Structure 1
């Protein structure tokens, strides 16, 4: 029995980083699951949420885009972004398709299943929650801000993050975590992609309770900006463990050695960068790195 059929992997995050990770895990097929952040309020996604309500679809669309292997009319439509002037300018057709299917379906997860079937995507994609919620942050000077874009632009450092309103995790996401042999956090924007799913109490509790799974934190290859960019790696790891109710991270995977924290965490240093874009993870290197940890 191969590792692809015997091991179950869950990756948590959003946007480009999670999409890259899921593309690396593509050979695991239905044994790989991406749990996607749904709190984005910027760009096309934010405009759709403002007029239609619902969860943010942008990160889910991005993940599905990176998993499409067979180009088709459907995939061309899903990836199309409108240009020009007027209300459609800047909108991604994939976001609109997911919104429309959500309106036609009983629940958002069904909309994702329909798109996956249309585009022949085997890897499971699950929204962190099927209920709309926004990211809120409290700065060190006691000021609250609401919305991912506002959090990214904060000039003060953060004391804490919350979701408003508090929403339940998607039950399939909790089930996938309970069955996982490996749970991966990142790469991606720390405060706006990795942290939002961990703020869901039933999701973080499921990670805490799965003591047999290996929990892996994957570092970014390029520095972040805003408040996340001012955080040290140690601070980020401690934030994760606090959100996971004290559950220790098993492996910190990155390209650079960290002698200052290796007495606290198991740091694994491997080459992970794409040869032509050193700010982006190479799918094959990432695949081999995760397989070596399993």
Structure 2
């Protein structure tokens, strides 16, 4: 199809949401790029960071898992999670493989590309930064907390979100945004998946500069909890636009219709996006068709 050859798509986020989006876009092959959050500090990823340092690999591994199309011994190893007692319990072998390859490579992106080649994944996977950083949040009460897990557990509403330390964005990610025909935010955990890449000034600036791209926000199908769950959709859209230097979101894609005043401020498009057997999860085909619909409305480049 001409669309897949002529349009470049960038999706930004982390965890299961970005993996689902990239799985929907894998028909675009190398014309699709995922820019992945690298600030996770929980679970296997957090334990590896505590003892080895480096960026968080869990979200990247999750994305790659959802893009594997040919089951193999390599893919079974990459998806394997240790069980039992002892230090290996709960560790995902894919996280350990990426950590080992990172230690053997000049750049973390090289480690990702080695895994992509091994698992025959065509979609580009780019970490938001190749330097370790953590999420930091300021509550309305003036309390700072550090770490994704702590942010998710905050009982107060958030006033501000930052990265500590400040790190540069991966240049390949910035370049992909500059060349994109569509830039997709979400679905996924708003504060801990969608926002961290947008906190990098180079990424926000690149989105602001690419005025010819269509900026699409994809809503979750199930409610969030914690501080993100207490934010309205209007607040989330405003936070994204502020991080993108004021760049307006062109389309808000969701599964349920909205009312004014939200529809007066944003172009809200409602489509059936839910999986038939799990209505909290996006159906890959429906999601792809909804994105294709938005791309088809644009002139071929």
Shared fold (TM-score, shorter chain, > 0.5): yes
Is 1:264 the counterpart of 2:248? The answer is no
Tell me the CA shift for residue 227 of structure 1: 0.1
Q: Who is 1:5 aligned against?
A: 5
Q: Give the alignment of 1:184-263 within 5 angstroms.
A: 184-260=184-260, 261-263=262-264
Tell me the CA shift for residue 111 of structure 1: 0.1
Q: Who is 1:292 aligned against?
A: 293
Tell me the CA shift for residue 134 of structure 1: 0.2
CA distance in 1, matches of 2:38, 2:238: 23
Deviating runs (4+, > 2 A) in structure 1?
none
Deviations along 1:136-191, one digit per CA (max 9) or x if unpaired, are 00000000000000000000000000000000000000000000000000000000
Deviations along 1:38-69, one digit per CA (max 9) or x if unpaired, are 00000000000000000000000000000000
CA distance in 2, matches of 1:157, 1:60: 28
Deviations along 1:90-123, one digit per CA (max 9) or x if unpaired, are 0000000000000000000000000000000000
Tell me the CA shift for residue 284 of structure 1: 0.2
Gaps of 5+ in 1: none
CA distance in 1, matches of 2:156, 2:181: 38
CA distance in 1, matches of 2:246, 2:114: 37
Deviations along 1:258-293, one digit per CA (max 9) or x if unpaired, are 112010000000000000000000000000000000
Q: Who is 2:160 aligned against?
A: 160
Deviations along 1:173-230, one digit per CA (max 9) or x if unpaired, are 0000000000000000000000000000011100000000000000000000000000
Q: TM-score, normalised by structure 2?
A: 0.97
Is 1:75 the counterpart of 2:57? The answer is no
Secondary structure class of the residue paired with 1:205: helix
Is 1:32 the counterpart of 2:23? The answer is no
Is 1:131 the counterpart of 2:165? The answer is no
CA distance in 1, matches of 2:150, 2:225: 13
Tell me the CA shift for residue 239 of structure 1: 0.5
CA distance in 2, matches of 1:39, 1:143: 20
Aligned length: 294
Secondary structure class of the residue paired with 1:159: strand
CA distance in 1, matches of 2:215, 2:242: 14
Of stretches 252-261 and 180-189 in structure 1, the one that deviates more from structure 2 is 252-261
Q: Who is 2:16 aligned against?
A: 16
Tell me the CA shift for residue 4 of structure 1: 0.5
Tell me the CA shift for residue 35 of structure 1: 0.1
Q: Give the alignment of 1:143-158 within 5 angstroms.
A: 143-158=143-158
Is 1:174 the counterpart of 2:174? The answer is yes
Secondary structure class of the residue paired with 1:263: helix
Secondary structure class of the residue paired with 2:69: coil
CA distance in 2, matches of 1:67, 1:2: 22
CA distance in 1, matches of 2:251, 2:50: 39
- Over the residues paired in the alignment, what is the CA RMSD in angstroms? 0.5
Is 1:274 the counterpart of 2:275? The answer is yes
CA distance in 1, matches of 2:288, 2:143: 41
Tell me the CA shift for residue 256 of structure 1: 0.8
